[in-house]
Amino acid sequence: MWMSGATAGPDYTELETVTTNYRMAAEDLGLPDDLRTVLAQPYREVTAQVPVRMDGGGLRVFTAYRVQHSGALGPFKGGLRFHPMVDLDEVRALAAAMTWKTALVDLPFGGGKGGVTLVRRDHSDAELQRASRGVMRALQKVLGPQRDIMAPDMGTGPAEMAWLMDEYARLVGHAPAIVTGKPEALGGTCGRVEATGLGVAITAREAAREMGLDVAGARVVVQGFGNVGSHAAEFLADLGARVVAVSDVDGGVYHPEGLDLPELLRRCRAGITGHHGMDVERITNEEMLALPCEILVPAAVGGVLHAGNADRVRARLIVEGANTPTTPGADVVFAERGVTVVPDILANAGGVIVSYFEWVQNLQNVRWTRRKVDDELRERLTRAFGIIHRRSLHDSVSLRDAAHRVAVERVAAALRLRGFDLF
């Protein structure tokens, strides 16, 4: 899905964006045709019917998708999204992006993604619980702690993961490693909720250092003030940045001197809507992308930065909290203008890294401390950033191109070693 705005819409769909980034890497690496063909399409796609009894007695039938892109490096891993714009192409795009992401940060996982087309805020907790259980019943045969492990994404969180885990326990037996992002009381790990936002802040700091940009005092704009965006804003503020604008699906708020972030976070987490009494200017989601700032964090939906608006972006550094927020058309403009982009498959990999820590803890029946989780996350992301940064200098390409080259190389090597052509 991508956002509409006052200007022309995106020049590429999310699937076209992901496919283009992969094809360019495959081409530059000189990947043989047979490998290229295998990696160009998903291994398996499931579309399932999920009938859900509504609180009022009526029945709604939702469509659930699960796409498993590549299992070359291990079990499929990827989130489950509840959002009105979910469709099969979007899930295909996100599943492939997960393959490159897990390979890039050196996790023993392949890539997968799931989604249900629904408007979360139209449903009660009871309806969401019935929908989550229905998804597990519909997809259970292709899932498993050693086969495919789901996690939260847009519109889902710890509660949905708990229901999915419980439904799996009823069907198959107790196996907490079937999903990650669970509540801590049910075997979830500490640090998972904050992990993606923390990863955005860590990679922003690494990139800023290489650019000679001081994060302390830098103006930051965050589009999407959900799980990823709100935590990214908080961690960047901890590094001394000034968060000047944030938004949600209904629009954004702006203050050139910096927003009262603690108050915004308090209201957001208490479910308070509106900005009564706050000294802020209301802006649209499209306007906020063109605000004067040093760092822009798109952390909502795909395709928001495209050839039609990239020249208006004033940030020097873009750190992609969301998946596929930048189209290849915008990438060309950013390269010409010297805007650095930390690509999604690195910038938002904190979530899947800590999901991996949760899976490991579940399989071993142990619990890590918050310090261990955060230290290991920092270590992995910093190492991955270093590898990509050096590759981008060596090959004279963008961080995105370098990241895809490293990821595609690793997955292709695993496929070769498995003997993919002799099945």
Work out which of 21, 132, 285, 340 binds ligand NAD, going by CB under 6 A: 285
Whether the CB-CB separation of 410 and 103 falls below 8 Å is answered with yes
Q: Which of 113, 141, 182, 372 is catalytic?
A: 113
Number of residues binding to ligand NAD, judged by CB under 6 A? 24
Q: Pattern 91-130, binding to ligand NAD, x per CB under 6 A? A: ----------------------------------------
Active site residue 372: no
Phi, psi values for residue 85, rounded to 5°: -95, 10
CB-wise, 26 or 154, nearer to ligand NAD?
154
Whether the CB-CB separation of 73 and 410 falls below 8 Å is answered with yes
132 binds ligand NAD (CB under 6 A): no
Residues 191-220 that bind ligand NAD (CB under 6 A): 196
Work out which of 73, 162, 300, 377 binds ligand NAD, going by CB under 6 A: 300
Whether the CB-CB separation of 86 and 117 falls below 8 Å is answered with yes
> Alpha-carbon distance 161 to 80, whole Å?
9
Residues 256-275 that bind ligand NAD (CB under 6 A): none
Residue that the structure tokens 């047979």 belong to? 34
Length of the chain: 423
Count Cβ atoms within 10 A of the Cβ of residue 274 and give its class: 0-12 exposed, 13-18 middle, 19 or more buried: exposed
**Radius of gyration of the chain measured on its C-alpha atoms:** 20
**Helix axes 192-211 and 227-238, enclosed angle (nearest 10):** 50
CB-wise, 134 or 303, nearer to ligand NAD?
303
Whether the CB-CB separation of 194 and 152 falls below 8 Å is answered with no
153 binds ligand NAD (CB under 6 A): yes
Using the contact rule CB under 6 A, the part of the chain among 17-25, 221-229, 234-242, 276-284 near ligand NAD is 221-229
Strand partners, 149: 77
Using the contact rule CB under 6 A, the part of the chain among 18-26, 242-250, 286-294, 356-364 near ligand NAD is 242-250
Work out which of 226, 303, 328, 343 binds ligand NAD, going by CB under 6 A: 226
Work out which of 64, 201, 301, 345 binds ligand NAD, going by CB under 6 A: 301
> Alpha-carbon distance 396 to 378, whole Å?
26
Q: Least distance in Å: CB of 252 to ligand NAD?
A: 8
Whether the CB-CB separation of 14 and 90 falls below 8 Å is answered with yes
154 binds ligand NAD (CB under 6 A): yes
Residues 346-405 that bind ligand NAD (CB under 6 A): 348, 351
3-state secondary structure of 2: strand
10 binds ligand NAD (CB under 6 A): no
Angle made by CA atoms 306, 308, 310, in degrees to the nearest 5? 60
Q: Interface with ligand NAD by CB under 6 A: which residues? A: 3, 152-155, 196, 224-229, 247-249, 285, 299-301, 321-323, 348, 351
**Residue positions annotated with a catalytic role:** 113
